[in-house]
Amino acid sequence: MKQGAIFDEFANKYDEWFDTPQGKIVKELELNLLIEFIRPQKGKKMLEVGIGTGLFALEFRKRGMDIRGIDPSYEMLSIAKKRGFEVKYGTGENIPYPDETFDVVLAMTSMEFSKEPDKFITEMKRTAKDNGIIVVAVLNALSFYGISRRVKGIFKKSVFDRAHFYTYWELKHLLTKHLYNVEISSSVFLIPNSPNWILQRANSLERFGRRYCAQFGALIVGKGGKNVY
């Protein structure tokens, strides 16, 4: 099965969860951490490796960034293209752009599906400008969400069945091999299907979690430079 085929059948439903009460909060928390790491600036060129439907790319376009995207799922690319993004078929291991093209190269929950993560990072690094940054966000194997997805996957087909979830330390080690000035944090310390009283305290949980339990957030985000910055 081709890498993108596992996403084709989920493409039209991919965004639906982010419209639920919990999904909206999770998206906001994840986006806040990505913005903190990327620091979007008007006119900066960003490539999203695994752009999917363009859901998160929309938020960076709103902030003035010039976005390009690649994805191995033609169905996902079709949706992103309808949203006005310039997209190409491609994978993280073979990015179809020249060297030193982008100010920011982002992979948002896509490296989990790579069988060659070292090559994935090397390609991201190749397409970044000399002063560019590489940002990788992956799902955490040791989070409430990561454990829940694994358990559900035993009983029901899921898009995550073929994914490799990372740990905080695993991602840090991988990025440190290839990048400079690596920073790492995580986001979303909610439990799946949180009741409303927990959702109402999501921001407080986020502040506490990022300060004291950064190894266990649902989304681990790492950032590094192509060169020393």
DSSP 3-state assignment of 65?
coil
Q: How far apart, in Å, are the Cα atoms of 85 and each of 34, 77, 149, 176, 178?
A: 19, 9, 30, 31, 29
CATH number for the domain whose boundaries are 5-225: 3.40.50.150
Q: DSSP string of 139-194?
A: EBTTSHHHHHHHHHHHHS--TTTT--PBPHHHHHHHHHHH-EEEEEEEE--PPTT-
The pLDDT tens digits for 188-215 are 999 999 999 999 999 999 999 999 999 9
pLDDT at 163: 85
pLDDT, one tens digit for every residue, the chain (229 residues)? 455 556 666 667 778 889 999 999 999 999 999 999 999 999 999 999 999 999 999 999 999 999 999 999 999 999 999 999 999 999 999 999 999 999 999 999 999 999 999 999 999 999 999 999 999 999 999 998 877 765 454 445 556 667 899 999 999 999 999 999 999 999 999 999 999 999 999 999 999 999 999 999 999 999 999 987 6
Boundaries of every domain in the chain: 5-225
